[in-house]
Amino acid sequence: MFLDNGPRCCQECGPGFYRSLLQAGGCSKCPPHSGSRESGTRLCICEPGFYKTADDPDHMACTRPPSAPRNAISNVNETSVFLEWSVPMETGGRKDVRYNILCRRVLPEGRGLEECGANVRFLPQGVGVANTSVMVADLQSHTNYSFLLDAVNGVSPLANEHARQYVSLNVTTNQAGRLD
């Protein structure tokens, strides 16, 4: 039993419930995808595969990283590529979904891939994109590229790297590129 040093006393919260330090009064049920196994807990623990950021309030459900973007398409215009996609099927229960685009150039004779480098421009940007499209400019002409597109949210950094899901787009640029 907890005593709150006031004129009233309160009972310990049972398993599956918690009482926040900021909360006056009774116990609250643990938010979705979390729980408490012991009585008297002040916070609930997220289930495996679900997470909370340090800024998420106690009453917020535990969430998970999003699934991969869907319906990704590309449109090549000489040495630029317009990439467009749909939001993931599963946002992880969060509204802070952003997108990252990794550009890789296919090396001649199938020797592998290398990152595109600083000369390639992403409009508006290649990391933390809020909308569902991006223009990639200043690519080399007559070159094969592979783009990896992933969706992230506030809890993605807390999840294991293997949990991230990508969609891949392969394109070949046309002529009229810049000279290297």
Which helix (DSSP H) or strand (DSSP E) does residue 152 occupy?
A: strand 144-152
Residue 39: both structure tokens together = 């009585």
CA–CA distance, 71 with 55 (Å, rounded to integer): 32
Give the pLDDT confidence score for residue 42 in this predicted structure.
Answer: 78
Which of 6-10, 21-25, 51-55, 129-133 has the least mean pLDDT?
A: 6-10
Q: Mean pLDDT in the chain?
A: 86
* Neighbouring residues of 86: CB distance < 8 A, sequence distance ≥ 6: 69, 70, 71, 72, 132
Bridge-partner residues for 122, per DSSP?
A: 136
What is the model's pTM?
A: 0.81
Instruction: Label residue 21 by pLDDT band (50, 70, 90).
Output: low
Query: What is the total residue count of the chain?
Result: 180
Over residues 3-7, the mean pLDDT reads: 40
